[in-house]
Structure 1
Amino acid sequence: MLKIPPRIGPGPVTTPCAPHTQISQNPEPEFHRAFKDRAFEFPFVTRQPSRISVPGAEAL
């Protein structure tokens, strides 16, 4: 089971306009991939390109 520890310290820096882009505190690629793989395993979730985010972003 994947366990995410509580946040310590300030939140990440993001861009001021939508869609927001997180600039700091980005996860390690392996952790990000594991999180996405787990999220897309749910039977009611479909994996598709985002219609509003940056190119290459995926939507749930």
Structure 2
Amino acid sequence: MQLRQILAVLQKQNKYVTLQRHVARLLIQQRVLRLHVMVPSVTNLVRRSNSELVLN
């Protein structure tokens, strides 16, 4: 293999790894967002209970 061929192969591998990292990051963000939607935060629960107290 010539140097140009080696560099081309390495560049393709680098793009593939970068794509893998990007997909992994998106999947992690999606799971974190889904977790936030499923589990209300404590501050939201406190705000909700305070507003219900004020409304009642």
Q: What TM-score do the two structures reach when normalised by structure 1?
A: 0.26
Which of 1 and 2 has higher RCO (CA within 8 Å, sep 6+)? 1
Name the one with the larger strand percent.
1
Name the one with the larger helix percent.
2
The higher radius of gyration belongs to: 2
Q: What TM-score do the two structures reach when normalised by structure 2?
A: 0.28
